[in-house]
Amino acid sequence: MLQRLFVQNFALIDQLEIDFQTGLTVITGETGAGKSILLGALSLALGTRADKDSLKDKDKKCIVEIEFNIQKLALKDFFDTNDLDFDLHTVIRREISISGKSRAFINDTPVTLNQVKELGSQIIDVHSQHENLELNQQDFQFTVLDTLADNNTLLKDFQSNYDEFLNIKKQIETLKEKNTAQKQRLDFIQFQYNELKNANLKTNEHTELEQEQNRLSHSEEIAENLKLAISRFTKEEFNIIDELHAAKQEINKLSSDFENGEGLVNRIQSSLIDLEDLS
C-alpha cells in the first residue's frame, strides 16, 4: 500500500509531501491543478525517463520519494536476489541532478532503473485515462485473490518447495550428463583395450622394435660398411680367403710334426667356412 509521497523541485512543485491513510484516497481538482503532475512524479520514481526539463529550479536537483507498506506482498525473494535490505516499509527514491543525470535508490541502496521498474510493477499499478485495466490478465487476478486471501505464507512455502524442485531437477540433469559422459569414456577405454589386445604385444617387444627401427634407420650405412668388410676378404692385392687356404695347406703338411697340428688345421678350416659364408 502507498503510504507517503514526497516531491521536491519537480515541474510546478517546489516541495510537497502527502501521507496516505488506510483505505481509499481521492484527489480532486480543476484542470491544471496538478493532479497529472503527481502521477508524473509517481511514474518518475518508478523508473520512467527523466531529464533536466523536469526541474522547476534548474539550479537544484529534483527528488521524488515514495514509501510503501509491503507486508502483504511476497517480495522477500526479490530483495534477496538483488542483495537489497528488506523492510516492510520500503522506500523508493529517484534523484535528477541539474545536469539531467538520474540516480535511483531502494531503501537507500543505489539500484538500476530496471530493478526499480521490476519492484514497482509488483507493488503499484498506474492507470491513465482510457487505459485498459489488468483485470483480464490471469497473473493480476491471482495476485488480487492471493492478497485478499492473505496467502503470503502459503505463497512463500510454495515458492520454497518449487525452488527445491527446480534444484533437484537440475541435479538430476547434471547426473544424467555425467552418466552419459562416463558411458562415452567407458566405450573409449573398451576400444583402447580391444586395440591393445588385438595387437598381441609380447614381453620386451618394445626393445626389439626399437632395435629394428634403429637398424632400418641406418640401413644404408650398415650395407656400405658390410660391403667394405666383405671386399677386404676378397680383394686382389690381399685376399684373406686365398691366404687362409694357402696357410691351411702349409700347416697341414706340418700337422704330423706337432701335437696340436691337426687341431690348428681344423680351426683354420672353420674360419674359412665362416668367411666364405660371410662373403
DSSP calls for 208-272: HHHHHHHHHHTHHHHHHHHHHHHHHHH-SSS-HHHHHHHHHHHHHHHGGGSTTHHHHHHHHHHHH
DSSP state of 152: H
Q: Which of 99, 124, 146 is the last residue of a domain?
A: 146
Q: What is the mean pLDDT of residues 149-177?
A: 91
Does any domain span residue 94? yes
Q: Which tens digit of pLDDT belongs to each residue from 223-254?
A: 777 677 666 656 666 677 777 777 777 767 66
User: Picking from 138-152, 158-172, 197-211, 215-229, which range would have the lowest pLDDT averaged per residue?
Assistant: 215-229
Give the domain extent around 55. Answer: 2-146
pTM (2 d.p.): 0.47
Count of structural domains, the chain: 2
Question: Is the pLDDT confidence value at 24 over 90?
Answer: no
Does any domain span residue 203? no
Does any domain span residue 163? no
Q: Which tens digit of pLDDT belongs to each residue from 123-132?
A: 887 766 655 5
Instruction: Look at residues 26, 4, 25 and name the one whose alpha carbon lies nearest to residue 16.
Output: 4
Beta bridge partners of residue 94, listed in sequence order? 64, 104
Angle separating helix axes 219-234 and 240-254, nearest 10 degrees: 40
Q: Which of 96, 114, 146 is the last residue of a domain?
A: 146
